[in-house]
């Protein structure tokens, strides 16, 4: 469903993501924007590691939070943005492999509050196939903001 | 209380923190290690921002998670490390100012599971004084790991 | 999949549920036990209400926590039980209607920790059809316990 | 600080608590209302137990959620109520003894969202003294509601 209207929404998400400078710092990319669903990928690399060489839970949370938040943003009319009020993340397995992919989805869209989840998968690229293992699960509560200078989208 | 024994514990925390390469990537520093209490500071800078110029919730979570986790580690005997099983963070106010300081404290130390919290403050340095405003509150569940190659401390 | 083995597991869940006296106090019933999946239903009634007449979030959490916990228990061998270490619940819409149904599912089964979710639906029974509206989403971390007197199953 | 104004606020909390019929069902009582702080006590009794005879996590969550929510309500002007958007609870030790006491406190009061915590203590009454052991820690996000029929206070 990439209607003309949704193309404009996708552009809002892309423009907002481009302003999240932490994404370039970590090496994360926006890979998919669909109505109520957004994917962000992070290459597993030495500069985002914790003490055992896995990706730090905070980096996992960064892409998961943004994937959930942007999934929520796709449900908002122009001029209304979202801020994360809180999130909870379970780390299910070590964040290792070649790439992490966070898939954010809206659970419940509301006027004031929106609940979204993000599943993070650790991808391991073999010779012929790529395997995906669940590595984290995040649930976020987003609050809609409107007409506040500088905080839209 | 920096007994000889705790000095060894503090060195374990410092050595582990030094291996968390994401900290250098973000610009975070370990500023205090005490029994059951650890502080990590992050300079507010353009490369860790979200779309409105505030520090991204994921970067806030990164220092808060490590502050809580290392607070837990100070309660563990040598050879036993901790991994974050899950955490929840509430974002209380925009992560702005000059510096964020995450103060991690153990809530309940256990053999298998330890619960720790971290408060994150946003510091604004004025002419004569530094003001601290609460900007996030994290609660984490840490699981003790022992005798697993590569995951200790 | 109700193999002979699983029939024994289902009986363990039923026997444990029967000992949860709060369930009778609230009016909750165990309605389905399957491998990795358990459902508990609660009739909407005046004695479980909060101040506006909806079912209290704590009662919603009670059936959701048990549905998640028993889903986890179905994955445990005999003699190993589970305890809830923590849970997080989002209340998505008022807990109203005729009946709440909590559907618990295992997200990740582990030796020490198991993560499970429960979705709670509010059922409204119309003339010809029953509608189900999502009313809460819980994520729980369960810790396996073994050989501790009185805490198995 | 029981100014005349706060006396009116305390009465709003008491009146709202009296309408939470689940409290009578569980055996919980409102024991203290102060600005930004509310205490609810629950007698440990057979009808609120889980399978091992401890108080069910859901009953613990019920009093903790209400203690946090009413702490938030004390900061609201008349005509504005609060609803729990979400909460997270860590169970720190078995909910046993004679009485559980949930102490709710406001962490951050806001126009739209308020964050509150509740600590739950398990009290054991000895011959000469009562000991209090931390048994749970809850963090809740409350959303302010205004001018919605039936959901105020």
Residue D151: inside a domain, yes or no? no
Residue D105: inside a domain, yes or no? yes
Residue B152: inside a domain, yes or no? no
Query: Using CA atoms, how far apart are residues A6 and A35, in angstroms rounded to an integer?
Result: 7
Q: For residue D93, list chain B residues with Cβ-Cβ distance below 8 A.
A: 108
Question: CA–CA distance from A125 to each of A59, A97, A100, A128, C54 (Å)?
Answer: 21, 8, 11, 8, 50
Determine whether the interchain pair D113/A143 forms a contact, defined as Cβ–Cβ distance below 8 Å. yes
Beta carbons of A38 and A70 less than 8 angstroms apart? yes
Paired sense of beta strands D130-146 and B28-34, if any: unpaired
What pLDDT, on a 0 to 100 scale, did the predictor assign at position D1?
47
Subunits with 3+ C-beta pairs closer than 8 A to D: A, B, C
Residue B151: inside a domain, yes or no? no
Instruction: Kindly report the CATH number assigned to the domain that includes residue B134.
Output: 3.10.129.10
Rg (CA), chain D: 15
Beta carbons of C37 and C9 less than 8 angstroms apart? no
E-strand stretches of chain A? 28-34, 37-43, 80-91, 99-108, 113-125, 130-146
Q: For residue D28, list chain C residues with Cβ-Cβ distance below 8 A.
A: none
What pLDDT, on a 0 to 100 scale, did the predictor assign at position A35?
97
Two tokens at B55?
Answer: 């520090």
- Which pairs with CB-CB distance under 8 Å and at least 24 residues apart come from D145-149? D145/D80, D145/D81, D145/D82, D145/D83, D146/D79, D146/D80, D146/D81, D147/D79
Query: Using CA atoms, how far apart are residues A13 and A32, in angstroms rounded to an integer?
Result: 10
Residue whose C-alpha is closest to residue B67's, from A58, D20, D52, D88 = A58
Question: CA–CA distance from C88 to each of A54, C57, D26, D128 (Å)?
Answer: 26, 12, 22, 38
Residue A152: inside a domain, yes or no? no
Cβ within 8 Å of residue C132, ≥6 positions away: C101, C121, C122, C123
Among residues 11-40 of chain C, which lie with CB inside 8 Å of chain B? none
Q: How far apart are the first and last CA of chain C?
A: 21
> Is B14's pLDDT higher than 70?
yes
Determine whether the interchain pair A47/B21 forms a contact, defined as Cβ–Cβ distance below 8 Å. yes
What pLDDT, on a 0 to 100 scale, did the predictor assign at position A1?
47
Please name every residue paired with D118 in a beta bridge, in sequence order, or none if there are none.
D104, D138
ipTM: 0.94
- Helical H segments across chain A, by residue range: 4-19, 21-26, 57-73
Determine whether the interchain pair B57/A62 forms a contact, defined as Cβ–Cβ distance below 8 Å. yes
Residue B102: inside a domain, yes or no? yes
Burial of B125 (0-12, 13-18, 19+ CB in 10 A): exposed
Question: CA–CA distance from A110 to each of A113, A115, B47 (Å)?
Answer: 5, 8, 32
Q: How far apart are the first and last CA of chain D?
A: 21
What pLDDT, on a 0 to 100 scale, did the predictor assign at position D26?
98
Determine whether the interchain pair C89/D87 forms a contact, defined as Cβ–Cβ distance below 8 Å. yes
What pLDDT, on a 0 to 100 scale, did the predictor assign at position D69?
98
When pLDDT is averaged across residues B26-54 and rounded to a whole number, the result is 97
Phi and psi at residue B26, to the nearest 5°: -80, -30
B91 contacts chain A (CB < 8 A): yes
Determine whether the interchain pair B86/C143 forms a contact, defined as Cβ–Cβ distance below 8 Å. no
Average pLDDT for chain B: 93
Query: Using CA atoms, how far apart are residues D25 and C55, in angstroms rounded to an integer?
Result: 13
Paired sense of beta strands D130-146 and D37-43, if any: unpaired
> Is D152's pLDDT higher than 80?
no
What pLDDT, on a 0 to 100 scale, did the predictor assign at position C150?
54
Determine whether the interchain pair B22/A85 forms a contact, defined as Cβ–Cβ distance below 8 Å. no
Q: For residue A86, list chain D residues with Cβ-Cβ distance below 8 A.
A: 86, 115, 141
Strand arrangement, sheet containing B28-34: A28-34, A37-43, A99-108, A113-125, A130-146, A80-91, B80-91, B130-146, B113-125, B99-108, B37-43, B28-34
State how far residue A95 is from chain D, nearest Cα, in angstroms.
Answer: 24
Structural domains in chain A (count)? 1
Please name every residue paired with D16 in a beta bridge, in sequence order, or none if there are none.
none
**Which among C85, C88, C115 is the nearest to B88, CB-wise?**
C88
Confidence of residue B150 (pLDDT cuts 50, 70, 90): low
> Is D56's pLDDT higher than 80?
yes
When pLDDT is averaged across residues C39-55 and rounded to a whole number, the result is 96
Residue A153: inside a domain, yes or no? no
Query: Using CA atoms, how far apart are residues D149 and D153, in angstroms rounded to an integer?
Result: 11
Residue whose C-alpha is closest to residue C91's, from C131, C53, C59 = C59
Confidence of residue B64 (pLDDT cuts 50, 70, 90): very high
Please name every residue paired with C144 in a beta bridge, in sequence order, or none if there are none.
C82
Beta carbons of D12 and D35 less than 8 angstroms apart? no
Residue D152: inside a domain, yes or no? no
Two tokens at A126?
Answer: 């073999």
Please name every residue paired with B55 in a beta bridge, in sequence order, or none if there are none.
B49
Query: Using CA atoms, how far apart are residues D84 and B72, in angstroms rounded to an integer?
Result: 30
Phi and psi at residue D19, to the nearest 5°: -85, -10
Query: Using CA atoms, how far apart are residues B13 and B153, in angstroms rounded to an integer?
Result: 7
Strand arrangement, sheet containing C28-34: C28-34, C37-43, C99-108, C113-125, C130-146, C80-91, D80-91, D130-146, D113-125, D99-108, D37-43, D28-34
What pLDDT, on a 0 to 100 scale, did the predictor assign at position A146?
87
CB contacts < 8 A (A, D):
17
Average pLDDT for chain C: 93
State how far residue C115 is from chain B, nearest Cα, in angstroms.
Answer: 10
Q: How many CA atoms lie within 13 A of C69 on its CB side?
A: 32
Determine whether the interchain pair C115/A137 forms a contact, defined as Cβ–Cβ distance below 8 Å. yes
The secondary structure of residue C51, as a DSSP letter, is T
What pLDDT, on a 0 to 100 scale, did the predictor assign at position C148?
61
Residue of B nearest to C108 (CA): B85
Domain that holds residue D128: 6-146
More confident of the two residues B94 and C4: B94
Summarised one tens digit per residue, pLDDT across range C75-117 is 999 989 999 999 999 999 999 999 999 999 999 999 999 999 9
Summarised one tens digit per residue, pLDDT across range C61-77 is 999 999 999 999 999 99
**Which percentage of chain B shows pLDDT scores above 70?**
93
3-state DSSP percent of chain C in helix, strand and coil, to 5:
25, 45, 30
Please name every residue paired with D43 in a beta bridge, in sequence order, or none if there are none.
D99
Residue of C nearest to B88 (CA): C88
Q: Which helix (H) or strand (E) holds C135?
A: strand C130-146
Summarised one tens digit per residue, pLDDT across range B76-91 is 999 899 999 999 999 9
> Is C151's pLDDT higher than 80?
no
> Is C126's pLDDT higher than 80?
yes
Cβ within 8 Å of residue C81, ≥6 positions away: C16, C73, C144, C145, C146, C151, C152, C153
Determine whether the interchain pair D57/C21 forms a contact, defined as Cβ–Cβ distance below 8 Å. no
Q: How many CA atoms lie within 13 A of B32 on its CB side?
A: 13
Average pLDDT for chain D: 93
- Which ranges of chain A have pLDDT less than 70? 1-4, 147-152
> Is B62's pLDDT higher than 70?
yes
What is the SS3 assignment for C25? helix
Q: For residue D115, list chain B residues with Cβ-Cβ distance below 8 A.
A: 90, 92, 137
When pLDDT is averaged across residues B113-142 and rounded to a whole number, the result is 95
Residue whose C-alpha is closest to residue B137's, from B60, B42, B72 = B60
Determine whether the interchain pair B134/D93 forms a contact, defined as Cβ–Cβ distance below 8 Å. no
């Amino acid at each position: 469903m990439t209607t003309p209207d949704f193309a404009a929404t996708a552009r809002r998400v892309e423009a907002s993501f481009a302003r999240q400078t932490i994404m370039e710092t970590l090496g994360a990319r926006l890979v998919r924007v669909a109505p109520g669903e957004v994917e962000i990928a992070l290459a597993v690399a030495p500069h985002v590691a914790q003490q055992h060489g896995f990706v730090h839970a905070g980096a996992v949370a960064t892409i998961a939070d943004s994937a959930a938040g942007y999934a929520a943003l796709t449900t908002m009319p122009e001029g209304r943005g979202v801020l994360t009020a809180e999130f909870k993340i379970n780390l299910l397995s070590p964040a290792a492999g070649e790439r992490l992919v966070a898939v954010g989805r809206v659970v419940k869209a509301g006027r004031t509050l929106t609940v979204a989840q993000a599943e993070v998968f650790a991808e391991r690229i073999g010779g012929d196939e790529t395997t995906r293992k669940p590595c984290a699960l995040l649930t976020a509560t987003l609050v809609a903001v409107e007409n506040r200078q500088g905080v839209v989208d």
